[in-house]
Amino acid sequence: MDVDLLFIPLNSVQWKECSSRGFIEPSVQEGSKSIRSIEAYTPSVVEEIINFKFVDQTDLLLILIDPIRIQVPIKSELNDIKPNNEEDGFGNSKRYPLVHLQGKISIDAVIDRIPIQKDKDGLFHVHIETID
């Protein structure tokens, strides 16, 4: 994978739980038999995805992950996602390129955490500049 940063959006309660445990682990989806993974986003899609998926949130922490420090399998694929506030169904989903971290990742892989809040128009803004 040719990405310098990955982003995992968490709320402050989720982050406190992860930091006290020393790792970020996949959430358990009831009834799911698929491989559990942590959903992460690349810089090119993070703003669009959080404004679509996390419409029910007013503030988030963007956890910046260094992919080199990840010790679990990483899989990139296109997936349909829907806003967190929707019931199961196919009505309002969009297809995005996602990165799946397949297992627990150590807090040591975290480079930084950035608090973001919605603006007056109800949108999150993430501006990422990369230096080559």
| Domain coordinates in residue numbering, the chain | 6-25+34-117
Asked if CATH classification 3.20.170.20 holds for the domain at 6-25+34-117, the reply, yes or no, is yes
Global pTM? 0.86
Closest CA relative to residue 14, chosen from 57, 70, 76, 48: 57
Amino acid symbol at 66: D
CA 35 to chain centre: 17
Say if residue 98's pLDDT is above 70: yes
Q: What average pLDDT does range 96-118 have in this prediction? A: 94
Tell me how far apart the alpha carbons of residues 119 and 77 are, in angstroms, rounded to a whole number. 30
SS3 (DSSP) at 82: coil
Residue whose pair of structure tokens reads 């982003």 in the numeric block = 7
Read off the pLDDT of residues 7-36 as tens digits, 9 standing for 90 and up: 999 999 999 999 999 999 987 654 455 668
